[in-house]
Chain A
């Protein structure tokens, strides 16, 4: 849903590990479909950041199109 080139810089840090976030592959699932995407996450504990922009933008679009499949 996002790729390395336009990976947004973020101010968010992991609150538990106090680590800077870095891009990593994650799996997202919806209605039986699985997608592998690159998102920012905590390199230590794996907590994944889904920003408002992503949730209401690209992610919403993909959800809607999968709902009509």
Chain B
């Protein structure tokens, strides 16, 4: 990822944008943080928030006119949070223990401030903290101006306490010092810069600057060099006066340092935030009432009121996606981590696993207000890892081997319909349906061949999705080329796919139809449920944008007398089952969480139309059917023991291989009357495995054929360990990149009882002496 691209993507994630209250505050008090502190009864934390932005917190928190309340998003669902009353509560009921002040820097430049009201005081304090030599000219005999008029809200002791903040060696206060127009030239001579801290076009300002003077509101600059003045024309507002004093101080500091007055000031003062906040489903709430209005909130009331704060955040994608939630951050942070990970030349790339954990399903883009797709970013990063030879082999090796198997002689098949020499259509069931439910492939093929005119060919192989997801562009390309060649050999027929992933791999460059659309549009016999069957649909993530597929699936279900109750996330908002993007291989724990949380969205039986979705939910114990289970229900087995298709087990990886192998053989034999050579070799090794051992091997991605191979090699070479106590053998074999170990026992009848299986990727260099 180039830096420019990083910036472009980062700008789409608005999670770090300030909440509406902070953006509406002219001095940007972090009200959201304040509310969190109050909720936690962290009074020092709450006061620290006020002290951070307010120059005179005891004063301002009592008299602020709180534009934040008008902007508060809680106000759209009930009353706005009473931040005004809450701030007052904090400063009246609690005392801030300010951390020791940092040693002051001193600058020689002198600044004159004319007017000792809120504007002037704020500018004086801000510039004083920056080390300038500040002199305040106040015409009255005390500082504060209108502050003294508040009486009840603002008692003299509070004003006096806060004004002590001005007690610094570099701030001089000249009381009873009225400055007239004719004094100005002298002051401008004595001081490097002057701030006329007087209301815009007020009497005092007019007297000093004359009628018709102008001020740039954004910078407080006047036409006089080094002279700054108020330009605020809105309704009288204490917080605007503070903001203006601060704005002038920033300008004076920049002016005295020779910096630009205007650069990067778009976030000065109040503005509209672009933080997106989803208010859907939030119950309206009224403000917490005060038991005693004149005394203000009690602690209990204050905490309850602060708890009404919505803690405005976007996090739309994080709320929707387990992967984004899993690593505890949000896209802006992830983008930076991915960028850094890509850039590391030497050292540990900590984000590899995170990058390989995304399902690439695109739900984030659907829910993001700015359509940021983290899947695209993760995929591009994976492709980079592969190109630079940095992809951790353990992440995707197994899936790629599985794909290689499906594109080997073991499974691949391309044929016209028996008795035909051309194909108008070709059925492409894909590797997962063939692995999960080969009988359905056969039934669908027979049905299509019967119902569709013009010849229906058959292609068995993998579409290449695993390579695509793994970032293996070259392998994907080769798989596609081989597939295109086979497809062309049939005369480029219309492809009918049963798998959503195949659909997504083909749709941009091949004529592809979804099996569900075809079945829905064809007059086929459907076994209608005698009573309505309520189900929820697990839409496939790889066809989230294919509205016509969603519709066809629902119409088919309707014809079957199934009543669909939509999941909260369905159709274009559907969630991945954890197989997409190969998450299940790169991050098993996350993939399990994904299925578990998706399963909880409804207690109804789910219907999937992707075999991998079905198998993953089945493996987790969720009742789920494949749409084909409903269209082609299993015939009764033993009388009275009809299989419940919603509890059919996940066949597992070994069985999927076996199923694909058998499917090819069976179809060749039954439909095309072709026989394959009988297999020998590994298949001669007959295994007995307990359910526990079988599951363990499955979990460890060790196939039955791997186990058979280890035993065969060990029995032929005699290279194995023996446990004299129980007669078990332990042997290993490394066919390519993984070493498999099997603990087994030779039974009297010549079969092998498997007790354990494990593997490692590291290669042991053995100096074998024969």
Please report A residues at the B interface, Cβ cutoff 8 Å: 11-16, 18, 21, 26-31, 39, 41, 44-50, 52, 55-56, 59-60, 62-65, 67-69
Q: Are B722 and A15 in contact (CB-based, < 8 A)? A: yes
Does chain A have a CB within 8 A of B105?
no
Q: Are A69 and B348 in contact (CB-based, < 8 A)? A: yes
Question: Residues of A contacting B760 with CB < 8 Å?
Answer: 50, 55-56, 59-60, 63
Kindly specify which of B300-308, B475-483, B596-604, B725-733 makes contact with the partner chain. B725-733
Given known contacts A13-B721, A15-B729, A68 and B350 CB-to-CB distance under 8 angstroms: yes
4 tightest A-B CB contacts, nearest first = A67-B392, A12-B721, A15-B722, A27-B765
- Interface residues in B694-739 (C-beta closer than 8 Å to A): 718-725, 729-732, 739
Expressed in whole angstroms, the minimum distance between the Cβ of A7 and any Cβ of chain B is 16
Question: Residues of B contacting A26 with CB < 8 Å?
Answer: 764-766
Expressed in whole angstroms, the minimum distance between the Cβ of A53 and any Cβ of chain B is 9
Question: Residues of A contacting B764 with CB < 8 Å?
Answer: 26-28, 39, 48, 50
Question: Residues of B contacting A13 with CB < 8 Å?
Answer: 721-724
Question: Residues of A contacting B352 with CB < 8 Å?
Answer: 67-68
Report Cα–Cα, A15/B395, bound state, in Å. Answer: 35
Question: Residues of B contacting A62 with CB < 8 Å?
Answer: 762
Question: Residues of A contacting B767 with CB < 8 Å?
Answer: 46
Does chain A have a CB within 8 A of B349?
yes
Does chain A have a CB within 8 A of B763?
yes
Tell me the nearest residue of chain A to B726, going by C-beta. A11
Q: Are B729 and A28 in contact (CB-based, < 8 A)? A: no
Tell me the nearest residue of chain B to A59, going by C-beta. B760
Tell me the nearest residue of chain B to A1, going by C-beta. B762
Report Cα–Cα, A50/B718, bound state, in Å. Answer: 17
Does chain A have a CB within 8 A of B756?
yes
Does chain A have a CB within 8 A of B770?
yes
Q: Are A15 and B769 in contact (CB-based, < 8 A)? A: no
Question: Residues of B contacting A49 with CB < 8 Å?
Answer: 721, 730
Given known contacts A11-B724, A13-B721, A13-B722, A56 and B758 CB-to-CB distance under 8 angstroms: yes
Does chain A have a CB within 8 A of B7?
no
Question: Residues of B contacting A29 with CB < 8 Å?
Answer: 762-763, 765
Question: Residues of B contacting A31 with CB < 8 Å?
Answer: 393
**Chain B 747-770 interface mask (CB, 8 Å, partner A; 1/0):** 000000000101111111111111
Q: Which of B350, B395, B739, B760 has the most CB of A within 10 A?
A: B760
Q: Beyond A12-B730, A29-B762, A55-B760: 20 further Cβ-contacts under 8 Å?
A: A12-B723, A14-B721, A15-B719, A15-B720, A15-B731, A16-B718, A16-B719, A27-B764, A28-B763, A30-B763, A44-B769, A46-B768, A46-B769, A49-B730, A50-B739, A50-B764, A52-B741, A63-B394, A67-B352, A68-B352
Tell me the nearest residue of chain B to A62, going by C-beta. B762
Expressed in whole angstroms, the minimum distance between the Cβ of B601 and any Cβ of chain A is 33
Given known contacts A12-B730, A29-B763, A45-B770, A67 and B394 CB-to-CB distance under 8 angstroms: yes
Report Cα–Cα, A45/B763, bound state, in Å. Answer: 18
Expressed in whole angstroms, the minimum distance between the Cβ of B756 and any Cβ of chain A is 7
Q: Which of A13, A46, A67 has the most CB of B within 10 A?
A: A67
Expressed in whole angstroms, the minimum distance between the Cβ of B562 and any Cβ of chain A is 44
Tell me the nearest residue of chain B to A47, going by C-beta. B719
Given known contacts A12-B723, A16-B718, A52-B741, A47 and B766 CB-to-CB distance under 8 angstroms: yes
